[in-house]
Structure 1
Amino acid sequence: MSRILIIEDDRAIALGLRLNLRRDGHEVRIAQDGETGLRMALEPDVDLIVLDVMLPGRNGYELLKEVRKQGSTASVLMLTAKGMESDKILGLKLGADDYLSKPFGLGELLARVEALLRRRPAAPEKSTVIRFGPVEVDLDRQIVTRDGSTVDVSPQEFRVLRLFLTSNGRALSRDDILARCWGAEYEGTPRTVDNFVRSLRVKLELNAEEPGHFLTVRGHGYRFER
């Protein structure tokens, strides 16, 4: 399963692409502005980015330049309403792998995505089992055990847990967690995140009142520590 990030400020386009890419078996996230898109693009598990040029906050060219500067090897398919050859050349020079002008056919975009994913080198085999304290999490099989016994976690709890485990100890804001685990279109509040973190603490910490793994970052959000 490939992990795809869509950075597109047109909500209808973003949701339509996500629906169809998920049908093809991909895990899909959405960002609707340049700053959020940049943060999500730099996550280590992103395989491919569908990147619109015209974005609020930071345009697609600026975002692409920074993503490549930071060393990301994710494939990038740029989308733009501009059909000028000079715009395409600029995107390719900055590190885009392919370019598609709006309006585009859905079938062509899906075919280009699959072609880009086929070109990516095979990822080295690595363990998908993460352990902390008495807890063992199998990310591929989505199984959580504690002291050898299975822990019942909901699909949404597992999404939040996966984000913490793959964040490499970085502090995550409540808004970031909402966007990545519920989607950019979700209209919940930061309290939603607090409730899910509380649930994970109860199920996985030795002492939920004095957590040693799911830590609060005051004024910001949370971070995970093994």
Structure 2
Amino acid sequence: MRAPVDDLPHILVVDDDRRIRNLLQAYLLDNGFRVSVAGSAAEARDKMRGVAFELVVLDIMMPGESGLSLTAALRNEGSRVPVLMLSALAETSDRIAGLETGSDDYLAKPFEPRELLLRIQALLRRRDQPERSRAEVAFGPFVFHVQRGELRKGGNVVRLTTRERDFLRRLAASAGQAVARAELAPDSSDEGGRAVDVQINRLRQKIEDDPSTPLYLQTVRGTGYVLLAD
């Protein structure tokens, strides 16, 4: 038996491209969601004043106020509604900018509708989980237990050096936020950060399928590194 319409998660799709709005609305409706649409940040604000949405799918590049600006404003106002950003900008720096403003996920255009659906479902599951301290940080197939300093992939322990464990602890404590090289190695006299970069590369060898194109442990140019957790 299908859930009553009022019990279905209500998603707001914000995109200045009418074709994309209509396609996403139709697809999400077919997959069991209530869907409202907005063509601009201003229209989205109006709709959010009267409705408590479970999730916002938000385009970055829009005339007037951008999706980045709207997300930052929502977070400054204390809103915790999950935000999934869409963008034709696929560079790592663009993804990091989106996450740093407070978005919960980032999907580059063009994308497979099925992937969008899976990401939405994951964000809604995360929202429904009770708040807990960051005792564990999950990313991809990995789970890192912060206190024990134990990294697991599936049921198997991934062996870490003491230095790698220390780095991962600092990154996990600020998951989703950039961590400066000096923070990763505050006791190091390596002013250029070369020793930090070497340790990061070794850690990537253990957690990335392709260390040259990392998915989880990414570089923030001019700052340091960020661990993108689930």
Tell me the TM-score normalised to structure 1 length.
0.52
1:15 corresponds to:
22
Matched, 1:106 2:113: yes
Note if contact 1:41-1:49 (Cα within 8 Å) is conserved in structure 2: no
Percent same amino acid at aligned positions?
A: 41
Alignment check: 8 A CA contact 1:78 1:91 kept: yes
Counterparts of 1:75 and 1:92, CA distance in 2? 12
Aligned to 1:96: 103
Among 86, 95, 98, the residue aligned to 2:93: 86
Q: Deviations over 1:72-98 (max 9, x none)?
A: 111110000001111111110111110
1:154 is aligned to none
Are positions 1:120 and 2:123 aligned together?
no
Contact map agreement 1:61 1:94 (CA 8 A) in 2 = yes
Q: CA deviation at 1:39?
A: 2.8
1:57 to 61, 64, 72: 64
Alignment counterpart, residue 28 of structure 1, candidates 5, 12, 35 = 35
Output the amino acid matched with 1:7.
Answer: V
Deviation at 1:44, TM superposition (A): 5.1
- Cα deviation for residue 121 of structure 1 reads 2.4
- Give, as a single letter, the amino acid of the residue that structure 2 aligns with 1:111: L
Pair 1:104–1:80, CA change in 2 (3 A): same
Residue 197 of structure 2: aligned partner: none
SS of the equivalent of 1:120 reads helix
**One of 38, 42, 46 as aligned partner of 1:39:** 46
Which digits, 9 at most, give the CA deviation of each residue in 1:159-191, with x for residues without a partner? xxxxxxxxxxxxxxxxxxxxxxxxxxxxxxxxx
- On the 8 A contact 1:41/1:67 being kept in 2, the answer is no
RMSD over aligned Cα, in angstroms?
Answer: 1.6
Aligned 8 A contact 1:38 1:67 in 2: no
Tell me how far apart the structure 1 counterparts of residues 48 and 117 of structure 2 sit (CA, whole Å).
Answer: 20
Aligned residue number for residue 169 of structure 2: none
Q: Map 1:108-187; keep pairs closer than 5 Å.
A: 108-121=115-128
Gaps of at least 5 residues in structure 1 are 124-226
Q: Distance in 2 between matches of 1:121 and 1:21?
A: 19
**Structure 2 counterpart of 1:91, one-letter code:** G
Local SS of the residue matching 1:66? helix
For 2:202, the equivalent position in structure 1 comes to none
2:12 aligned counterpart, secondary structure: strand
Q: In 2, distance between residues paired with 1:42 and 1:104?
A: 30
Paired residue secondary structure (2:28): helix
Runs of 4+ in 1 over 2 A off after TM superposition: 38-44
* Aligned-partner SS, 1:5: strand
1: distance between equivalents of 2:13 and 2:119? 14
Deviations 1:45-73 (A, max 9, x none): 11100000011221011110111111111
Aligned length: 123
| Partner residue, 2:80 | 73
